[in-house]
Amino acid sequence: MQDKLEQTAEIIGEQIADSEIVGFFEKHSDKIVDFAVNIFAALAILIIGLYAIRIILKIMNKILVSRSVDETLRRFAHNLSGWVLKIMLFIAVASKLGVETTSFAALIAAAGLGVGFALQGALGNLAGGVIIMLFRPFKIGDYIDVQGEEGFVEDIQIFSTIIRTFRNKTIYIPNGALSNGNIINISEKGNLRLDVEIGVDYASDIKQTKEVLVAAVEGIEGLLPTPAPSVVITELADSSINFKVFLWVTPETFYSVKAAAIENCKIALDKAGIEIPYPHQVNISKK
């Protein structure tokens, strides 16, 4: 029985040795070994390269921090350097796998026109990011009004700028649109003046109304003590005397102070018997 098993094993071994697969491997064994070595080498380059990029970016960030470089510029330089280093790493890995680096240049040159049209939006956003870095219309932490959106700048990346609204929504705005549109930097000068408009009846005493409005807004949480709140007449409208209450706040407390000021003014005017006019409808019926 054992002899039969040994004979069967020898026959199977001879058939495998004579098979096309084994022949192929024997014929191309050198190339297969070289390719396997290149794959492992490429993986090693990829892993080591990604780790090295992280270290390089950390060192670069520490250097920029030590030299007191603005956070906005630091983040932009970090993102841009990361992209460039990863592209270089990709080319190195492809080269190790046997892809000729000169073919990349030929491919880019041959498809340059098509790629240019396809990526014109991305390239425009990249150019917009560079323009923002050069002219610095805003920086991280500023409160801006752009493209119909208001919010605090959280990050300026290569292709887009990220802002966070008061409703805690994150908005990504392409840098190309930012660089070509109007930018209102609300917080660049520091504190903001908040204008609260109030209209009262023509029969109201102007001096009393001013005193009531000033007293109503004093002590609101988030209101800056200086400059002190003030009230002026801005318009003699068709049915009301319009006043504006000038308050000074920070960008962070703008909306909370505004809501509190409107509520306090309404309550104070009601207590003082000063009427806020509103349209009246009179029904005339024929008898």
Domain containing 170 — which CATH number?
2.30.30.60
Instruction: Clarify whether residues 221 and 265 are in a common domain.
Output: yes
What local confidence, expressed as pLDDT, does residue 231 receive? 95
In a domain, 256, yes or no: yes
Which pLDDT does position 106 carry in this prediction? 59
Final residue of a structural domain among 110, 133, 149: 110
Instruction: Indicate if the alpha-carbon torsion angle 134, 139, 142, 147 is positive or negative.
Output: positive
197 lies in the same domain as 180: no
Q: pLDDT at position 119, please? A: 52
Domain contains 1:
no
- Residue at 148 is within a domain: yes
Q: Which residues of the chain have pLDDT under 50?
A: 24, 113, 115, 118, 286-287
Residue 202 sits in a domain whose CATH number is 3.30.70.100
CB atoms within 10 A of CB 92: 14
Q: Can you give the length of the chain in residues?
A: 287
Number of domains into which the chain is organized:
3
Q: Is 199 found in the same domain as 171?
A: no
- Domain finish residue from 110, 140, 156: 110
Per the domain annotation, does 277 fall within a domain?
Answer: no
Q: What pLDDT score was predicted for residue 115? A: 47
Last-in-domain residue among 152, 185, 218: 185
Same-domain status, 254 and 220: yes
pTM: 0.56
Question: Angle at CA 34, nearest 5°, toward 87 and 40?
Answer: 50
Structural domain range at position 155 = 124-185
In a domain, 245, yes or no: yes
Which CATH number is 47's domain given? 1.10.287.1260
Q: Are residues 197 and 266 in the same domain?
A: yes
Answer whether residue 35 is part of any domain. Answer: yes
The gap from C-alpha 6 to its chain's centroid, in whole angstroms, comes to: 72
Does residue 147 share a domain with residue 177? yes
Residue 95 and residue 61 share a domain: yes
What is the structure's pLDDT at 200?
A: 94
H runs (alpha helix) in the chain: 2-18, 20-27, 29-66, 71-96, 101-110, 112-118, 120-135, 175-180, 206-217, 254-271
Residues 104 and 152 in one domain: no
Kindly list the distances between the CA atom of residue 200 and the CA atoms of 197, 224, 276, in Å, as whole numbers in the listed order.
10, 26, 4
Question: Does residue 233 form part of some domain?
Answer: yes
Does 104 lie in the same domain as 34?
yes
Q: Residue 278: inside a domain, yes or no? A: no
